[in-house]
Amino acid sequence: MNELVFVGLGLHDEKGISLQGLEEAKTAEKAFIELYTSLLPDFSIERLEALTGKKVHVITRHDLEEENGKLILDAAEKGKTVFLVPGDPFIATTHVTLRIEAEKRGIKTRIIHGASIISAIIGLSGLHNYKFGKTVTIPFSENASETPYNVITQNKQLGLHTLCLLDIKTDQKRYLQINQALTQLLDVEQKRKMGTATPETVAVGIARAGSNAPALKADTIKNLLTFDFGEPPQSLIFPGELHFMEAEALITLAGAPASLRSVAK
């Protein structure tokens, strides 16, 4: 049967795949993987191949974005093919294009979901999911823009939290760090002066979500700048209005200053 199954790999290593995802990979005629849209810090293709009992072909950004995933589509036209993707497959918008192309070619598609950085970071922080506004990615300094500052400002005006993903360039092994992202935001604050990201603003830094030793720290930007979050991947949350249970979570789980209690509602 010609079929393309997108399988989420979850967050950290090859054991983030679900039991069903593993079954789909085992029973596929051909298996592909991409590891450039997210960093899976402890992932080993060899260990995944041992688990699935089959060769897993690595797909590059070029294969997918310049060649439009031809390798994958051609295989899926011949028989059941799995495409293994970090996190939950379609949080990376580039894969939506491949799915549309497959459907247009008459290839049936299915999705085996995996844990996503989005829900993982929200969960780790202890903040309430329904109080998050629009998500934003903070780019490397050479591509710095005021967009992240504007998104955080807009969300705060609505009382909402902002999840900030930090840019990665996996092919260059470059991962934006929390202190670099904060420095960019402080620079914009100097110009815009809206109070969105001052040295006294409280933010939440998270590193290695999905690992057995994630780092989680809520503090003023001033203090977060020198906090050692360790290895990537790293992310940030800018809280909006805090419910008192959210303040309690940040204090107990993320070592936030107890003074947060006085601003919670």
Positions in the binding site for a second copy (CB under 8 A): 8, 10-11, 13-20, 22-23, 51, 87-91, 93, 96-97, 99-100, 103-104, 110-111, 113-116, 118-120, 122-124, 126, 128-137, 154, 158, 160, 209-210, 212, 245, 248-249, 252-253
Q: In what order do the strands lie in the sheet with 136-138?
A: 136-138, 162-166, 234-238, 202-207, 215-220
Which of 93, 190 has the CB closer to a second copy?
93
User: Which CB atom, from 135 or from 198, has the smaller least distance to a second copy?
Assistant: 135
How far apart CA 166 and CA 178 sit, in angstroms, is: 8
Count Cβ atoms below 10 Å from residue 31 Cβ, excluding itself: 23
CB of 199 to a second copy, least distance (A): 27
C-beta closer to a second copy: residue 54 or 198: 54
- Give min distance, CB of 19 to a second copy, in A: 4
- HSE-up of 216 (CA within 13 Å, CB side)? 22
Minimum separation from the CB atom of position 88 to a second copy (A): 4
Beta carbon nearer to a second copy, 160 or 197: 160
Distance between CA atoms of residues 263 and 265, nearest Å? 7
Q: How far is the CB of 25 from a second copy (least distance, A)?
A: 12
β-sheet bridge partners, residue 112: 7
Consecutive H or E run containing 71: helix 70-78
- CB-facing half-sphere around the CA of 40: CA atoms within 13 A: 27
- The distance of closest approach from Cβ of residue 89 to a second copy in the complex, given in angstroms and rounded to an integer, is 6
